[in-house]
Structure 1
Amino acid sequence: MKTRQLGQQGPFVSAIGLGCMGMSDFYTTGVDEPEAIATLHRALELGVTLFDTADMYGPYTNEELLGRALRGKREGICLASKFGLVRSDDPHARGVNGRPEYVRQSVEGSLRRLGTDYLDLYYQHRIDPQVPVEETVGAMAELVRAGKVRHIGICEASAETIRRAHGVHPLAAVQSEYSLWSRDPEHNDVLETCRRLGIAFVAYSPLGRGFLTGELKSPDDFAADDYRRFSPRFQADNFNRNLALVDRVKSMVASKGISASQLALAWVLAQGEHVIPIPGTKQRKYLESNVAAAAVALSAAELGQLDEIFGAEGVVAGERYGAQTMSLLNG
């Protein structure tokens, strides 16, 4: 497995990490824990070292799952978790909390559930507009000094917020959604800001929540409680318009003898040595396909063709999230 570095002082991790959220939450009814654990163990065998979770996944159950699966296998793993997104009884509502006392409280819960004495990487999941980022990051820096956290990061933050946070304590990573059909980090200067400051950019949902795999054909493919049923990009006319974009890469996929997923991940990897995608999966067969994308090379002409299809602002139909969740982005 090729490696990339988290920040300027952080560890080298696998160039493709593993997003673990879907093993416990959001995408389907029920949890296949034996397969999820087998997938985590297979990831280790394949050289994956970056594992991404959060306290709100489940909530809490995803961290507990990783704690069980990775018990006795901690050495050499980069374990990343997040705090700051707060769930309520409404499954589609989110609150945020960046108060220093909440930071200290949250890390203790994550450490206990994950069965570890420290986190390699701890993110603020969303920026709290009521708390200056300097205060939140200051509390996170205290965790570093106490040895509970090795490195820190923030998620879905604006370029200005990244600069402010980095001025308090060096950020190892910024995590935001980024893929062929989610190009905001290019347009809002976040990707370039990370490059200039020597911060790793961790791309979540690099397969467009499964859309870029080419395997989804209808909104009816989703379980009744699947998050994507409520996502604007997956609804009604937006679904069909976006499906037409994915159909346009079929010839490229066929000519290279790879899958659509591998093409999408290879594109993300090609956007800079500081970019690390963390595709999520809960099945070994998809994990193995995703990891193989690290060996796929795209020519300048192929990259240009993909940009022609997906690159223009407005070409993708629908927002990434509903209005309430969109309001928490780019803080």
Structure 2
Amino acid sequence: MSTTTLHTPSGPVTVNKVAHGLMLMTWKAQPNPDEQSFAAIKAGIDSLPPGVKMFLNGGEFYGPNCSTANIEMIARFFEKYPEYADRAFLSVKGGAKADSLVPDGSEENVKRSVNRVLEKLRGKKTLDLFECARVDPNTPLEVSLGALAQLVKEGKIGSIGMSEVKAETLLRGHKVHPITAVEIEVSPWEYGPQQKAVIKAAQENNIAVIAYSPIGRGFLTGQIKSLDDIPEGDFRRMLPRFQPENMATNFAIVEKLQSIAKEKGITSAQLSIAWVSSLGPHVLPLPGSSHIDRTLENVSASKVQFTTEELTKVTEVIENAVFAGTRYPGDDRAMYLWA
């Protein structure tokens, strides 16, 4: 399995080249049973060689009604399996107003958010990295990151991340305090000038890129062919790219990727994850999964190696693909992207 190095204030940390997103274990009306979620987390960690940690990604608001259900689930996992605490690198998103998705990067709220996460973790796992999920347009970036820098000094968080930012914003933040990782959406259907610029700037400054939704929120697996394939209450039902009028257009790239994957003897999900990973030694695909089999399928993508010819073929498909629909609906949410 391939790995990458995270540069943290306390020293380098080796993590698997494919991370594990925990969001959909709890961000729904009825969170998964602990037994199911725990089994998926354990399977991913158990698949790694000694000395390599699993990058786990959770969120303060990844619960019903933006509650802390996700963090509470993570605490219960490490309470039941304390021996796994040192085998995982925990990254948590926060920085919104309590129980909401509204960005609030004020010093007061950033500290509130971190302290709340620590309270819910109950000392069962260190908070290895914390990032504000969005840049607050009403608060100077220096204020938000300055507050996090103080929390690093106090030992409350191990390192700082940034999320959904442009390359110039990332570099601006890196001047306030060394940034360990930046999280952005990267996949065969989301790879444009902004992603390329962030990936380049991050590599030049020893910052890891946590590439979430590398399989297009599940669409690139080929298992979502209509809105009926998405459960009721699932937030993907509101996303433009999953609407019936856009589905057929968007499925064209899935069929092409499936064809290449079949020739290589892997799944289209593994192909997408491996392609994202190929974008740089510092790029960690972050697929989410709630089941053992899917977790192992995703993690094993870190073993996939492309020949030059294969990589060229996949890249050509991606560069020539045409997609219908935007990432998120409406201008109100779009305003918080790529700050």
Tell me, yes or no, whether TM beats 0.5: yes
Closer/same/farther in 2, CA of residues 142 and 185 from structure 1, 3 Å limit: farther
C-alpha displacement of 1:88: 6.5
SS in 2 for 1:119: coil
Structure 1 partner of 2:19: 17
Closer/same/farther in 2, CA of residues 155 and 10 from structure 1, 3 Å limit: farther
Residue type of the partner of 2:7? G
Q: Which moved more, 1:3-12 or 1:193-202?
A: 3-12
SS in 1 for 2:70: helix
C-alpha displacement of 1:7: 3.3
Structure 2 partner of 1:78: 89
Could you tell me which runs of 5 or more consecutive residues in structure 2 were left unpaired when the two chains were aligned: none
Q: Give CA-to-partner distance per residue, 1:69-117, whole Å, 9 cap, x none.
A: 122131232111011234768xxxx411100111111111111212336
CA contact (8 A) 1:118 1:147 kept: no
Q: Which moved more, 1:32-41 or 1:139-148?
A: 32-41
Normalised TM-score (structure 2): 0.91
CA contact (8 A) 2:26 2:69 kept: yes
Structure 1 partner of 2:70: 62
Aligned residues: CA RMSD: 1.8
CA distance in 2, matches of 1:173, 1:32: 30
CA contact (8 A) 2:166 2:194 kept: no
CA distance in 2, matches of 1:155, 1:69: 25
CA contact (8 A) 2:186 2:195 kept: no
C-alpha displacement of 1:248: 1.2
C-alpha displacement of 1:33: 2.4
Q: Which moved more, 1:34-43 or 1:144-153?
A: 34-43
Determine if the alignment matches structure 1 residue 129 to structure 2 residue 137. yes
Structure 2 partner of 1:198: 206
CA distance in 2, matches of 1:239, 1:33: 33
Structure 2 partner of 1:115: 122
Residue of structure 1 aligned with 2:236, choices 224, 228, 235: 228
CA distance in 1, matches of 2:163, 2:85: 24
Residue of structure 2 aligned with 1:266, choices 274, 282, 286: 274
Q: Which moved more, 1:45-54 or 1:170-179?
A: 45-54
CA distance in 2, matches of 1:67, 1:29: 18
C-alpha displacement of 1:177: 0.7
Matches within 5 A, 1:122-271: 122-184=130-192, 186=194, 189-271=197-279
CA distance in 1, matches of 2:329, 2:205: 31
CA distance in 1, matches of 2:300, 2:140: 41
Structure 2 partner of 1:7: 7
CA contact (8 A) 2:181 2:207 kept: yes
C-alpha displacement of 1:219: 1.1
Determine if the alignment matches structure 1 residue 308 to structure 2 residue 316. yes
CA contact (8 A) 1:56 1:86 kept: no
CA distance in 1, matches of 2:143, 2:260: 48
CA contact (8 A) 2:23 2:58 kept: yes
Closer/same/farther in 2, CA of residues 86 and 321 from structure 1, 3 Å limit: farther
Determine if the alignment matches structure 1 residue 53 to structure 2 residue 53. no
CA contact (8 A) 2:185 2:214 kept: yes
SS in 2 for 1:139: helix
Could you tell me which runs of 5 or more consecutive residues in structure 1 were left unpaired when the two chains were aligned: none
CA contact (8 A) 2:7 2:206 kept: yes
Determine if the alignment matches structure 1 residue 34 to structure 2 residue 35. yes
SS in 2 for 1:248: helix
Q: Give CA-to-partner distance per residue, 1:163-210, whole Å, 9 cap, x none.
A: 111001000000011111111465561111111111100001111100
C-alpha displacement of 1:255: 1.0
Residue type of the partner of 1:22? L
SS in 1 for 2:90: strand
C-alpha displacement of 1:15: 1.0
Residue type of the partner of 1:81? V
CA contact (8 A) 1:53 1:80 kept: yes
Closer/same/farther in 2, CA of residues 282 and 185 from structure 1, 3 Å limit: farther
> What is the total number of aligned residue pairs between the two structures?
325
